[in-house]
Structure 1
Amino acid sequence: MTHYPNGDMHLRCEGDTNTTAARKQWYQTLNSPQTEAMLEQDSQYFLHQSMSTPCMNVLAAAEGIYIEDLSGKRYMDFHGNNVHQLGYGHPQVLARIQQQLTELPFAPRRFTHKTAIDCAQKLTEIAGGELNRVLFAPGGTSVVGMALKLARVVTGNAKVVSLWDSFHGASLDAISVGGEACFRQGMGPLMAGVERIPPPVIYRGVFPRDDNSDVHYADYLEYVIEKEGGIGAFIAEGLRNTDVQVPSKVYWQRVREICDKHNVMLIIDDIPNGMGRTGHWFTHHAFDIEPDMLCIGKGLGGGVVPFAALITKDKYNQAADISLGHYTHEKSPIGCAAALATIDVIETENLLEKVKQDQDYVTQRLAQMKQRYPIIGDVRGIGLLWGIELVTDRQTKQRAYDAAEQVLYRCLDLGLSFKVSQGNVLQLSPPLIIERDDLARALNIVEQAISEVIIN
């Protein structure tokens, strides 16, 4: 078992850690004085924070599905902080941004402009249903804050229900409704009135059932709403991004019924998984429901511009006398241009259908891997978002922390980058533009690394 300073095992909760012996060994393999010098400079000038300091490597370029370090080594990027649906530097996105820079690079927030109006209109079209009102912001965390504020205005209730292990951003209000200890540790009192409930997890759920159903997690939501009272909103990711937990349609449809029954606004945080990741524009489309508010970001900016949006219904346009956001870069012409270009590429390249076809291929490949390697306890996913959970024993489901690190660094050696979540889940989220040959090559790398694992 890997040992952590001060016993900080909670650092496993979100991403792979950078304080282990395996990470130190990784640095030695870089074998680049220039890289070492720049990592030291980064550590000198930036505030240190968990999961960012020290950095893993130094990048020199990013193009398509690849990132490239100072030594010229290229890695297929299956992480990308969830911004790289179109990969990096998509020519259509860059051209649209460059054109916008020459026409209108910035708009003070008291003014509007055609690019912003076109972007808002297009978002309402792809969101569909009653989701026809938009508010922009510079990033996803800000959008979550706006949604929480609007829920208070609409319902008159300030309390919120969220899920343990959820992530909704790193600001104080966002970590208040988030469920990860690594963000809340040492922060003291957070936003009052937040009740957390267990997420609908089948493989490691706290309420397991023999039939592998998850609808009873929704029933527990209703129990909390009725017992607590004063609940204005339920906020959740459509599906858990980092360790890839995919609820059933039955779960989400039951949640929708409960929220309607109790006048609770359903806020779906689709910041990491929107814009086609699931083979649908947004995850709620996969579950045949409609939220009251939809939070999107990350990939909305085309892997270039920080940009996010809140999409809601006309009947909730009730906060005209309150500044829900009022951010300096609220109607960013550059952000809107990037978003419009991103949507256009997804449509013209028929990426939603492509992702569904890729899903079938990945499903088959990972099922075969699970049959071959007992260290794989579970595989789960949708579209081009997949999790491979490594365990030391399938019966006890003990997390294979060290094995996951072995696989991560071996894959990096072989030219594939991804994220480890919960300490033992290999999270694979490739760009949606990835060609089938590259997808196959990446999965071959994963399988090779898993086949070489040595369990101590």
Structure 2
Amino acid sequence: MNKITSEGDVNTSSNRKNWQDKNINYETSCVLRDDEDIFLHQSLSTPCLNVLKKSKGIYLEDISGKIYMDFHGNNVHQVGFGNEDVKNAIINEMEELPFSPRRYTNNSAIILAQKLSDKTNGVLNKVLFSPGATSSIGIAMKLARLVTKKDGFLSFWDSFHGASIDAISLGGTAHFRNGIGSLLTGCEHLIPYNSYRPIFDEDTFLTILDYTLEKHGDIAAFFMETIRNTEVEIPSYKLMKGIRDICTKHNTLLILDETAIAMGRTGKFFAFEHYDIDPDIVVIGKGLGGGIFPISALLTKDEFNIGQYTSLGHYTHEKSSVGCAAANAAIDFIDNNNILEKTSNMEKFVLDRLNILKNKYEIIGDVRAIGLLFAIELVRDRKTKEKAESEADRILYNCLDLGLSFKVSSGILTLSPPLIIEKHELEKALEILEESIKIENIKLFGGNNNE
């Protein structure tokens, strides 16, 4: 099967073609052809799967009228699509201050910066905004060099921190590096610690990190996703504490990329709150703009406010009045509707259901959940842990047939519904998922003795 698998959808598989042949009408195919003709082609985005006309709440609607629950959403949909509070805030700000030029500030930007700082109890009390998290990662790299007087950066292979040259140099995802040529010097990578498919144990990983920072001697910052979004890799409390201590020991900044997982996704506003640690810098984005407006934020400590003579960001839309109004409304919605508590309560329900599925279907090798971010790892053999990649691909398209969309990556189903989802909607999605998993389990193992 010819396919491409990485951070997003499989976009060249025969299963995809079969799904489109069955579901895409003439009008949709014409629009897809126009899209393919006018846009530069790139992996993971070309060709497009379908054409949308509406997104609302937890749902997408394509131009033929088919409805999907969106458990993917590019992680921007924490407060749901078309959130009325966010829309109204944007409209009101557009009436008053549609654009805030450089040299000036505005109340919406100051209010947002203070709200974000307050979420860290004032520990991270210096803020910069940018139009997107990739830009904020670039700012973090520059600031780390200024603070530490070191040049190097350390991150994980297979990590993703954005798509610009500096961000792909830092990241370790092949699809974003292939064919690009020389990348930013000074970027080093470690084999990631993986709790569900361990190459080494936690103590060994911490020893490797400690050794690398000591022997290299010029690492300004260690970048990592607090919780790996694509595979829902959830580090232990001990591991995160150890990473924090080792970075401090070597005067290396710990920079956490929470672009996809902040804003309550894990049941906490910031995922690092689960570990009782404070990063030196944290980057958030995606859902910050309420699923409508692109905006990102970098938060850091007062002691690192040393860039007065360097343009760390200086982006045209850095203090976007409209973007900040959207973000303020999104945060207020989360706070006023007890979204964090609701998300934490949903976690147990989801994990219980996933464990029931794991006990029923041999194709499920592992399940993981934190807040409303969960993953199902599919395997052809639990002993060898051979990934069931083609089966995962078929499950995706079968679920799309049944009205459920999510992300697939290397045999792992990753689901992140809007945090506004109701329990009955979540139950329906899990029923759809089980129906599709059962089909592939029977194909592989000829039924299940546990049913």
Spell out, residue by residue over 1:214-256, the C-alpha distance to the aligned partner (whole angstroms, 9 max, x if none).
3432221111111111111000000110111111111010011
Matched with 1:289 is 277
SS at 1:420 equivalent = strand
Aligned partners of 1:128 and 1:36: how far apart in 2?
51
Aligned partners of 2:299 and 2:119: how far apart in 1?
11
Aligned partners of 2:109 and 2:204: how far apart in 1?
42
Aligned partners of 2:444 and 2:9: how far apart in 1?
18
CA-based RMSD = 1.0
Matched with 1:363 is 351
Spell out, residue by residue over 1:166-216, the C-alpha distance to the aligned partner (whole angstroms, 9 max, x if none).
110000000001011111001111111111112220222222x4xxxx343
Question: Identity percentage over the alignment?
Answer: 52
SS at 2:125 equivalent = strand
Matched with 2:307 is 319
Aligned partners of 2:96 and 2:6: how far apart in 1?
44
Deviation at 1:129, TM superposition (A): 4.4
Letter matched to residue 314 of structure 2: H
SS at 1:378 equivalent = strand
- Please identify runs of 4+ aligned residues in structure 1 that moved more than 2 A: none
Contact 2:2–2:12 (CA<8 Å) still a contact in 1? Answer: no
Matched with 2:407 is 419
Letter matched to residue 306 of structure 2: Q
SS at 2:300 equivalent = strand
SS at 1:19 equivalent = coil
Matched with 2:190 is 197
Letter matched to residue 86 of structure 2: V
Asked if residue 429 in structure 1 is aligned to residue 416 in structure 2, the reply is: yes
The 5-angstrom pairing of residues 439-454 of structure 1 reads 439-453=426-440, 454=443
Matched with 2:448 is none
SS at 1:452 equivalent = helix
Aligned partners of 1:446 and 1:237: how far apart in 2?
27
Q: For structure 2, which runs of at least 5 residues remain unmatched after alignment?
A: 446-451
Aligned partners of 1:338 and 1:26: how far apart in 2?
36
Match of 2:111 among 109, 118, 126: 118
Aligned partners of 1:383 and 1:198: how far apart in 2?
26
Per the normalisation by structure 2, the TM-score is 0.97
Distance 1:14 1:372, change over 3 A: same
SS at 2:188 equivalent = strand
Aligned partners of 1:160 and 1:206: how far apart in 2?
23
Asked if residue 49 in structure 1 is aligned to residue 56 in structure 2, the reply is: no
Q: For structure 1, which runs of at least 5 residues remain unmatched after alignment?
A: 5-10
Contact 1:270–1:283 (CA<8 Å) still a contact in 2? Answer: yes
Contact 2:151–2:220 (CA<8 Å) still a contact in 1? Answer: yes
Contact 1:408–1:420 (CA<8 Å) still a contact in 2? Answer: yes
Asked if residue 375 in structure 1 is aligned to residue 363 in structure 2, the reply is: yes
Per the normalisation by structure 1, the TM-score is 0.96
The 5-angstrom pairing of residues 242-281 of structure 1 reads 242-281=230-269
Aligned partners of 1:96 and 1:160: how far apart in 2?
39
Contact 1:245–1:381 (CA<8 Å) still a contact in 2? Answer: no
The 5-angstrom pairing of residues 19-58 of structure 1 reads 19-58=12-51
SS at 1:68 equivalent = strand
Matched with 2:145 is 152
Deviation at 1:30, TM superposition (A): 1.5
- Number of aligned positions between the proteins: 443
Contact 1:129–1:290 (CA<8 Å) still a contact in 2? Answer: no
Aligned partners of 2:368 and 2:185: how far apart in 1?
34
Matched with 1:81 is 74
Match of 1:170 among 134, 151, 163: 163
Spell out, residue by residue over 1:281-340, the C-alpha distance to the aligned partner (whole angstroms, 9 max, x if none).
011101111100010000000000000000001000001000000000000011100110
